[in-house]
């Protein structure tokens, strides 16, 4: 069977007949392998007759050997002659002496058998484990009812009273089997539907659960009694292997022990039954068989697990599926690969952006088969064996071949943890000496790599398609933009930033003279004269760039000197005609910087404003002007900082991405950065750190104020929270003041200042700790005061800085906080990784499914603003770029059409919309998309990773999950105390807040929200119970009362007469999204979650595009609650996926029936993942046994829509080049692969020709000799 022909996968209960159909024979003995002959025992757990031969094409007794007997069954030992691999697929069975209940359907939540029989799970268990009896037929006994549970004493009493045959009661799984056989599913279903009509509350919930179970059996065509086993399948022996260790002992899978227990007990029970043993003994043995089967299926589910040597619980069939080490996650979703290596990484500054350095030995091992092939092709070796020998003895002739092979074959580099798609990138390898992998400095950001001992793994793509995909899609030089925000991710850092910063600095004549004077004072007259000449060269005029560079090389001028140059000599297309007829005022360094770019690239002379559109006229002077005078009047321009370099790179990408040579300019920026940071020779010494002049005065002021606060606190005028909050504010302010003063006092050319200002390393806060004060420190203890308040700081600040040194007590205070920081970081990494996993799981099936879904809905957007702090979280411009509009956008002032419906918004149009003062625009986004699966291209818009419109079959769900999860480690872990202000509640922030939002959890301190839109007509103060009220009158003149409990504080701006929208917060606190969806509907909850998630990331300075968050929110809202079943078979109050109900409604509407009505439902990401329509995906996520139980009862079919399901069964994923959709990229990949294949086939033909020629020559030689 070809796996690609599999269209769907169904799961269901196996009937006893099906189990026997699968089986190749009954396992009768508990023996495994004969310890003498080392051969499997006959009829045992490894029997060759049942499961197939242990050796290929060889029977057990050795009568038949070799493939020619294929298919023969040995008449002596009964073994079929075939491949031994059938021992991985052939199953056996055990005929159970009594029916046994399957523990998944007994102990699961909800217990399926208990639901079907309408008995309590506890009672069901008592019957199955021979504690109590169940009445199967009361006959004429009035006191008993059908399915009544009675104790053994009662059973005996009734037998004595009414006689042995007056009623029927049974015990054990047999009784349950009998009752399940008697269930009439159709009748039961109709009764339940009737009962549901007037049921409410808990009773209704239970009836719905029962109805779902009965309906599941009814619709899937399965019988309930199949939940009771009469024949137990035995899995193939090679899936529960037994290995011989040194010393003759055996290591065996736990399953063999569990199966052995079942067979032993079952055989013993069979013997007892045959002997007609007393019932009490038989019952005990039946219970033991039941427990043995329970342990095999799910050990430890019911009572204490069965243990093996060393008191270790044995791993049952369920355990083999569950968790990280289970079948799903360990073997099906990820596999170990061939052709890989790993080593420490080192920097490779001489590499091009698309290259990586591979150590010689590693390259030889990784490309061994290719090298052998090439050695034979080049006739350096006679055959493969000879080539291998050459490699083993490290023949010098092989190295040229290795270089050749490696140079045209891409490799993939991966750094763990792989948090986003840029954690694996392709490079063209270059052989390097040593044993470290060389990495290009610019790709470090994407890998989050540094060179302090990080390791990376190398993987070799083998097929032509894999190589073509690596080169087109994954090559580092093609992955310039970060998928989370569409900004360049290959921004230079550290020395590269510093070099370009130094290169583009400007200095005035006076500053050169000052430096000359300083050198003269130090006695270095020669250098002093040189610096004076640099000052004198300010304002000098040069005719072209060559002349400037010559002057610099001959030390006639300095990099930072401002000079004049004929503008026309630069050939810049951005200069106007008038500008070309003038001199350009610029610095030597800036001329060198701009030389990196082509003529049609803007001239970067200043970093403010729109430098990419035009160069300011103030830098151009007509011929004949007194240039030194003019320059003296011009203010100095700031050099290029890290963020300015980012803007330059973004501009380079915009202009040259289509030519595919962005990386060329990036490499130039990198090389220049390294070169000029070396020339700058920037170092740090203690003398560069001067302690702030206002430190003493500020610290004394702080001490006085904190003593005053302490006095107020002791007198009871400040609560603990208020005192802590004010203390934090006080010292925070003082630390900031000292820091500001420090930065003002520092000379521009101070190395530390240069590093911080340029963005190369460090920031103001670091510098404040070096030369200001360290301030307050956090404390990790969870100790609470008598009033239950938990302090997060140590009250005594650290007055010293690192320049002066800390005293002993200060050192200990600070180590407290530092340790907390390290612990938090470690914990945060795990939490962030788990969040990413849940996000990937919930969104993995979202792919671009069509060009246009043709939706009529638009989504009205405006800037996202935080009302409380009045700050913009995301501007309208950012939300518009890369989207399609749903309605025409017209300039309100001029009436001119800016953009028509269904057109794409690029940067220029977004700018126009914002400039026109438009505050709201209706666009298409994931919320408005009506595609059945995934999202359409128009509703998604631009793919941020490529800067172009998204292609069909792009896996945007995975991209969204990675973009939100990847920066997760940068978010904080703590709750911040508002310290008595605003209701005294803790604000959950950072990672915990993101988790709370995506899991749709009820917040700890919920806010009261308005249930209706209307006007506030009354606000009553708190009564003696601390309850106050707000009354809102809606448009229908109804008064809706909102109760506010003591700790909740009404927001300051609500007064009588204020208008409130439904869902707005009346008090401080956090909105409960599940309440919001009921009160204010779908859009309110979508907007709320989006805004809140953005707010958390923005607080840490992380930009994430709103489209990623939208996709996750859509997945949280993919289920709905049925409000009215209409003419469908759907039941009110049940949940169903949006796509399913749409499908059902469409079918009903075709028959002119009434469709079902439904309302939206919000699920957390974990719940949404487990309840997805794909049972394979859900089972591989969490709660494996529960998911499989539910799926089996329903007879669920997996349509293999998502990525995980396809990976599990071994198909290509239905995304990217794996899908059938028409894609430009897929065409490119296929064409490149075809070319590679052609070249390979030509070479193979040449090799074959040579081999044939060689053979013919050999033949002629032998003829002659003969």
What pLDDT is attached to residue 791? 63
β-sheet with 1119-1124: strand ranges across: 1135-1137, 1119-1124, 1157-1160
Residues 329 and 1105: their CA atoms lie apart, in Å, by 30
pLDDT value for 1113 = 96
Domain for residue 463, yes or no?
Answer: yes
**b/e for 952-970, b at 16 or more Cβ within 10 A?**
bbbbbbbbbbbbbbbbbbe
Nearest to residue 344, comparing CAs of 458, 460, 456, 459? Answer: 456
pLDDT-derived band of residue 981, with 50, 70 and 90 as boundaries? very low
Tens of pLDDT, residue by residue over 78-105, are 999 999 999 999 999 999 999 999 999 9
Label residue 1045 by pLDDT band (50, 70, 90). Answer: confident
Give the H or E element holding residue 756.
helix 751-758
**Per-residue pLDDT at 987:** 55
| Each residue's pLDDT tens digit, 1196-1234 | 999 999 899 999 999 999 998 888 888 889 999 999 999
Please tell me whether residues 1140 and 1257 are part of one structural domain: no
Backbone φ, ψ for residue 831 (5° rounding):
-65, -40
- The contacts of residue 978 (CB under 8 Å, 6+ apart) are 721, 725, 984, 985, 986, 987
Query: Which of 880-884, 902-906, 1047-1051 is least confident?
Result: 1047-1051
Using 50, 70 and 90 to split pLDDT, how confident is the model at 781? low
- Return all residues near 980 (Cβ < 8 A) that are at least 6 apart: 719, 721, 722, 725
- The reported pLDDT for the residue numbered 1046 is 67
CA distance 1172 to 1178: 6
The answer to whether residue 1009 is domain-embedded is no
Strands 411-414 and 250-252 turn out to be unpaired
Give residue 555's Cα distance to chain centre. Answer: 54
The pairing of strands 437-439 and 340-347 is parallel
Domain edge (last residue) among 954, 980, 999: 954
What is the predicted pLDDT for the residue at 612? 76
Distance of alpha carbon 135 from alpha carbon 137, whole angstroms: 6
β-pairing, 23-26 vs 91-101, is parallel
The whole-number average pLDDT for the span 797-807 is 89
Is the pLDDT at 901 greater than 70? The verdict is yes
1128 and 1196 together in one domain: yes
What are the tens digits of pLDDT across the range 217-235? 999 999 999 999 999 999 9
Residue 1086 host element (H or E): helix 1082-1099
Q: What is the pLDDT of residues 576-609, one digit of tens each?
A: 888 888 888 999 999 999 999 988 888 888 877 7
Confidence label for 974 from pLDDT (cuts 50, 70 and 90): low
What are the b/e assignments for 215-238, b being 16+ CB within 10 Å? bbbeebebebbbbbbbbbbbbbbb
Q: Are 860 and 940 contained in the same domain?
A: yes
Q: What is the pLDDT of residue 983?
A: 35
Q: How many helices (H) and strands (E) does the chain have?
A: 45, 42
Residue 816 lies in a domain: no
Query: Could you say which of 612, 638, 664 is where a domain stops?
Result: 638
The residues near 226 (Cβ < 8 Å, ≥ 6 apart) are: 13, 14, 15, 16
Range of the domain at 752: 686-806
How far is Cα 992 from Cα 996, in angstroms, rounded to an integer?
A: 6
Spatial separation of the C-alpha atoms in residues 1051 and 1028, rounded to whole Å: 13
**Is 1210 within the bounds of a domain?**
yes
Please indicate, yes or no, if residue 746 is contained in any of the structural domains: yes
- Tens of pLDDT, residue by residue over 1237-1256, are 998 888 888 877 877 887 88
Banded model confidence at residue 783, pLDDT cuts 50, 70, 90: low
Q: 346 pLDDT exceeds 90? A: yes
User: Which residue, among 1005, 1010, 1012, 1015, has the nearest Cα to 1046 in the 3D structure?
Assistant: 1005
Are residue 570 and residue 519 in the same domain, yes or no? yes
What pLDDT does 1262 receive?
A: 85
State the CB neighbour count (10 A cutoff) for residue 525: 11
Q: Which tops the pLDDT comparison, 962 or 814? A: 962
Q: CA triplet 657, 661, 667: central angle to 5 degrees?
A: 120
**CATH number of residue 1158's parent domain:** 1.10.150.390
Tokens matching residue 701: 């002021």
Kindly state whether residue 359 falls inside one of the protein's structural domains: yes
Is residue 352 located within the same domain as residue 475?
yes
Q: Which residues contact 539 (CB under 8 A, 6 or more apart)?
A: 562, 563, 564, 627, 628, 629, 630, 631
Q: Do residue 476 and residue 364 come from a single domain?
A: yes
Nearest to 435 by CA among 340, 345, 339: 345
Same domain, 1248 and 1213: no
- For the four alpha carbons of 1182, 1188, 1189 and 1190, in that order, the dihedral sign comes to positive
Q: Are residues 347 and 440 in the same domain?
A: yes
Distance between CA 939 and CA 40 in Å, rounded?
Answer: 62
- Tell me the C-alpha distance between 406 and 408, whole Å: 6
Q: Is there a single domain that holds both residue 618 and residue 600?
A: yes
**Which phi and psi angles does 439 have, rounded to 5°?**
-120, 140
Both 1206 and 1243 in one domain: the answer is no
Can you tell me whether residue 268 is helix, strand or coil? helix
CA-to-CA distance for 514 and 961, rounded, in angstroms?
Answer: 56
Do residues 235 and 22 lie in contact, with contact meaning Cβ atoms separated by under 8 Å?
no
Sort residue 952 into left (φ over 0), alpha (ψ -120 to 50) or beta: beta
- Cβ neighbours, 10 Å, residue 393: 8
Kindly state the tokens that stand for 713: 């606190």
Q: Is residue 234 one of the residues assigned to a domain? A: no
pTM over 0.75: yes
Q: Which two tokens stand for residue 1080?
A: 């204010």
Per DSSP, the three-state class of 107 is helix
Say how many C-beta atoms besides its own lie within 10 A of residue 312's C-beta: 10
Phi then psi for residue 407, to 5 deg, are -65, -25
Kindly report the CATH number assigned to the domain that includes residue 950.
Answer: 3.90.105.10
Residues in a beta bridge with 489: none
Cα(876)–Cα(861) distance, rounded to whole angstroms? 8
Determine the Cα–Cα distance for residues 1010 and 512; give it in Å rounded to an integer.
67
- The CA–CA distances, whole Å, from 212 to 150, 164, 182, 694 equal 29, 39, 19, 74
Any domain includes 366: yes
In sequence order, which ranges of 169-307 are alpha helices (DSSP H)? 173-182, 185-196, 201-220, 254-275, 279-298
What is the distance, to the nearest Å, from the Cα of residue 114 to the centroid of all Cα atoms in its chain?
39
Task: Give the DSSP H or E segment for 428.
Answer: strand 424-432
d(CA 180, CA 228): 9
DSSP codes joined into one string, 1192-1212? HHHT-EE---SHHHHHHHTPP
- Render pLDDT for 111-157 as a digit per residue (tens, 0 to 9): 999 999 999 999 999 999 999 999 999 988 889 999 999 999 999 99
Structure tokens that stand for 159 in this block: 């037998």
Would the CA dihedral through 221, 225, 231, 236 be positive or negative? positive
Structure token pair of residue 754:
């240069």
Distances, alpha carbon 1121 to alpha carbons 215, 375, 584, 956, 1160, in Å: 18, 67, 69, 27, 6
| pLDDT the model gives residue 363 | 94
* Buried-state track 681-694, b at ≥16 Cβ within 10 A, e below 16: ebeeeeebbebbeb
ω before 36 within 30° of 0 (cis)?
no
Q: Check residue 589 and give its pLDDT.
A: 93
Whether the link from the prior residue into 417 is cis, omega within 30° of 0, is yes
Range in 175-179, 231-235, 476-480, 761-765 the model is least confident about = 761-765
Q: Does one domain contain both 364 and 452? A: yes
Give the pLDDT band (50/70/90) at residue 440: very high
What are the φ and ψ backbone dihedral angles of 346, each rounded to 5 degrees? -135, 160
Q: Specify the pairing of strand 455-459 against strand 437-439.
A: unpaired
Q: What is the CATH number of the domain that holds 451?
A: 2.40.40.20
pLDDT at position 37? 85
Gyration radius of the chain's alpha carbons: 38
Cα separations (Å) of 611 from 577, 601, 878, 1013?
17, 11, 20, 48
Boundary residue ending a domain (902, 921, 954): 954
User: Do 632 and 554 sit in the same domain of this protein?
Assistant: yes
pLDDT tens-place string over residues 63-81: 888 889 999 999 998 999 9
pLDDT for the residue numbered 978: 37
Backbone angles phi, psi at 1148, to 5 degrees: -70, -40
Cα–Cα distance list, 48 to 41, 86, 1015 (Å): 8, 10, 83
Task: Please state the φ and ψ torsions of residue 498, each to the nearest 5 degrees.
Answer: -60, -45
Look at residue 985 and tell me whether its pLDDT is greater than 60. Answer: no
Are 960 and 1107 spatial neighbours (Cβ–Cβ below 8 Å)?
Answer: yes
- For residue 888, the Cα-to-chain-centroid distance in whole angstroms is 37
Number of domains in the chain: 6
Element of type H or E holding 232? strand 228-234
Q: Per mean pLDDT, which range of 406-420, 519-533, 616-630, 1215-1229 is the poorest?
A: 616-630
- Specify the pLDDT at position 977: 38
Percentage of the residues of the chain whose pLDDT score is greater than 70: 97
């Amino acid at each position: 069977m070809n796996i690609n022909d599999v269209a769907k996968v169904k799961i269901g209960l196996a009937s006893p007949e099906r189990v026997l159909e699968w089986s190749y024979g009954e396992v009768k003995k508990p023996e495994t392998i004969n310890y003498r002959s080392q051969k499997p025992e006959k009829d045992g757990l490894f029997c060759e007759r049942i499961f197939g031969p242990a050796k290929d094409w060889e029977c057990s007794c050795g009568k038949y050997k070799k493939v020619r007997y294929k298919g023969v069954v040995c008449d002596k030992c009964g073994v079929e002659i075939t491949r031994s691999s059938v021992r991985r697929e052939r199953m056996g069975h055990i005929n159970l002496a009594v029916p046994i209940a399957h523990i998944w359907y007994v102990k699961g939540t909800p217990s399926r058998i208990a639901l079907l029989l309408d008995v309590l799970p506890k009672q069901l268990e008592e019957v199955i484990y021979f504690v109590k009896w169940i009445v199967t037929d009361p006959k004429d006994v009035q006191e008993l009812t059908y399915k009544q549970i009675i104790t053994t004493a009662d059973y005996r009493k009734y037998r004595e009273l009414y006689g042995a045959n007056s009623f029927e009661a049974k015990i054990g799984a047999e009784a349950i089997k009998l009752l399940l056989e008697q269930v009439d599913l159709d009748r039961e279903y109709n009764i339940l539907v009737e009962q549901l009509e007037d049921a409410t509350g808990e009773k209704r919930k239970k009836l719905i659960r029962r109805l779902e179970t009965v309906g599941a059996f009814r619709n899937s065509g399965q019988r309930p009694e199949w939940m009771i086993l009469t024949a137990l399948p035995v899995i193939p022996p090679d899936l529960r292997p037994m290995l011989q260790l040194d010393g003759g002992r055996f290591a065996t899978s736990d399953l063999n022990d569990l199966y052995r227990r079942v067979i032993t007990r079952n055989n013993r029970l069979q013997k007892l039954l045959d002997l007609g043993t007393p019932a009490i003994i038989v019952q005990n043995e039946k219970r033991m068989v039941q427990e043995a089967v329970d342990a095999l299926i799910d050990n430890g589910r019911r009572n204490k697990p069965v243990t093996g040597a060393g008191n270790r619980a044995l791993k049952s069939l369920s355990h083999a599926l569950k968790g990280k080490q289970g079948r799903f996650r360990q073997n099906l979703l990820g596999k170990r690969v061939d052709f890989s290596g790993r080593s420490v990484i080192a920097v490779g500054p001489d590499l091009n952006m698309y290259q990586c350095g591979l150590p010689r030995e590693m390259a030889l091992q990784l490309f061994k088969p290719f090298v052998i092939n090439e050695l034979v092709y080049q006739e350096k070796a006679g055959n493969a064996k000879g080539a291998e020998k050459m490699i083993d003895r490290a023949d010098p002739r092989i190295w040229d071949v290795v270089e050749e092979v490696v140079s045209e074959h891409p490799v993939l580099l991966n750094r763990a943890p792989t948090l986003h798609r840029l954690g694996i990138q392709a490079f063209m390898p270059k052989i390097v000496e040593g044993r470290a992998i060389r990495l290009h400095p610019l790709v470090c950001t994407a890998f989050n790599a540094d060179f302090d001992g990080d390791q990376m793994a190398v993987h070799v793509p083998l097929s032509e398609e894999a190589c073509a995909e690596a080169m087109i899609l994954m090559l580092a030089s093609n992955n310039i933009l970060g998928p989370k925000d569409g900004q360049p991710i290959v921004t230079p850092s550290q020395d590269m930033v510093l070099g370009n910063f130094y290169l583009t600095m400007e200095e005035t004549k006076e500053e050169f003279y000052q430096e000359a004077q300083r050198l003269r004072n130090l006695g270095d007259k020669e250098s002093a004269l040189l610096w004076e000449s640099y000052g004198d060269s300010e304002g000098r005029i040069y005719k072209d760039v060559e002349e400037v560079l010559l002057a610099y090389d001959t030390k006639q001028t300095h990099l930072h000197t401002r000079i004049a140059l004929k503008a026309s000599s630069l050939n810049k297309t951005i200069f106007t005609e008038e500008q070309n007829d003038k001199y350009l005022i610029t610095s030597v360094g800036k001329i060198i910087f701009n030389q990196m770019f082509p003529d049609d690239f803007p001239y970067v002379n200043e970093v403010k404003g729109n430098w990419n559109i035009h160069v300011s006229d103030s830098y151009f002077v007509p011929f004949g002007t007194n240039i030194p005078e003019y320059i003296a009047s011009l203010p100095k321009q700031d050099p290029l900082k890290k963020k300015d370099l980012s803007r330059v790179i973004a501009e380079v990408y915009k202009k040259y991405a289509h030519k595919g040579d962005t990386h060329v300019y990036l490499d130039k920026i990198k090389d220049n950065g390294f070169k000029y940071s070396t020339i700058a020779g920037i170092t740090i010494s203690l003398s560069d750190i001067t302690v702030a002049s206002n430190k003493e005065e500020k610290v004394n002021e702080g001490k006085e104020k904190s003593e005053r606060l302490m006095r107020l606190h002791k007198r009871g005028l400040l609560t603990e929270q208020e005192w802590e909050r004010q203390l934090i504010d006080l010292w925070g302010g003082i630390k900031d003041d000292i820091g500001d003063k420090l930065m003002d006092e520092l000379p521009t050319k101070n190395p530390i200042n240069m590093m911080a200002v340029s963005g190369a390393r460090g920031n103001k806060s670091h510098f404040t700790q070096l030369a200001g004060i360290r301030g307050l420190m956090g404390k990790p203890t969870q100790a609470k005061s008598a009033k239950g308040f938990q302090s997060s700081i140590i009250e005594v600040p650290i007055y010293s800085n690192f320049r002066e040194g800390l005293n002993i007590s200060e050192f200990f205070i600070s180590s407290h906080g530092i340790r907390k920081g390290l612990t938090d970081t470690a914990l945060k990494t795990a939490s962030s990784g788990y969040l990413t996993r849940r996000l990937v799981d919930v969104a993995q099936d979202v792919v671009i499914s069509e060009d246009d879904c043709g939706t009529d809905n638009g989504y009205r957007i405006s800037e996202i603003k935080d009302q409380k702090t009045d700050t913009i979280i995301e501007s309208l411009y950012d939300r518009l770029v890369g989207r399609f509009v749903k309605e025409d956008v017209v300039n309100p002032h001029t009436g001119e059409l800016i953009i028509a419906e269904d057109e794409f918004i690029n940067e220029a149009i977004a700018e126009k919309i914002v400039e026109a003062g438009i505050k709201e625009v209706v666009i298409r986004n994931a919320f408005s998309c009506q595609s059945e699966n995934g999202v359409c291209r128009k509703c998604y818009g631009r793919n941020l990773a490529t800067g172009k419109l998204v292609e069909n079959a792009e896996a945007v769900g995975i991209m969204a999950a990675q973009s939100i999860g990847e920066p997760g480690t940068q978010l904080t872990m703590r709750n911040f105390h508002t310290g008595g202000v605003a209701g005294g509640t803790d604000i959950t922030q950072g990672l915990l807040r993101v988790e709370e939002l995506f899991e749709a959890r009820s917040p700890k301190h919920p806010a009261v929200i308005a249930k209706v839109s209307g006007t506030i007509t009354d606000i009553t103060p708190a009564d003696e119970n601390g309850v106050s009220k707000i009354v809102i009158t809606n448009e229908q003149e109804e008064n809706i009362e909102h109760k506010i409990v003591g700790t909740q504080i009404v927001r300051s701006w609500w007064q009588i007469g204020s208008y409130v929208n439904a869902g707005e917060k009346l008090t401080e606190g956090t909105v409960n999204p599940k309440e919001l969806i009921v009160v204010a509907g779908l859009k309110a909850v979508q907007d709320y979650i989006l805004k809140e998630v953005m707010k958390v990331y923005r607080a840490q300075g992380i930009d994430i595009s709103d489209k990623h968050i939208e996709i996750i929110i859509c997945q949280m809202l993919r289920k709905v609650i049925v409000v009215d079943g209409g003419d469908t078979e759907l039941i009110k109050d049940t949940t169903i996926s949006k796509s399913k109900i749409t499908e059902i409604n469409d079918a009903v509407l075709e028959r002119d029936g009434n469709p079902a009505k439904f309302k939206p439902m919000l699920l957390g990401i974990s719940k949404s993942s487990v309840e997805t329509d794909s049972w394979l995906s859900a089972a591989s996520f969490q709660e494996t046994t529960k998911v499989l139980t539910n799926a089996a009862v329903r007879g669920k079919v997996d349509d293999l829509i998502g990525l995980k399901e396809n990976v599990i069964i071994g198909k290509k994923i239905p995304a990217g080049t794996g899908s059938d959709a028409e894609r430009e990229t897929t065409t490119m990949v296929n064409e490149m692969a075809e070319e590679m294949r052609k070249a390979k086939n030509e070479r193979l033909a040449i090799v074959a020709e040579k081999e044939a020629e060689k053979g013919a020559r050999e033949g002629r030689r032998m003829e002659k000799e003969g």
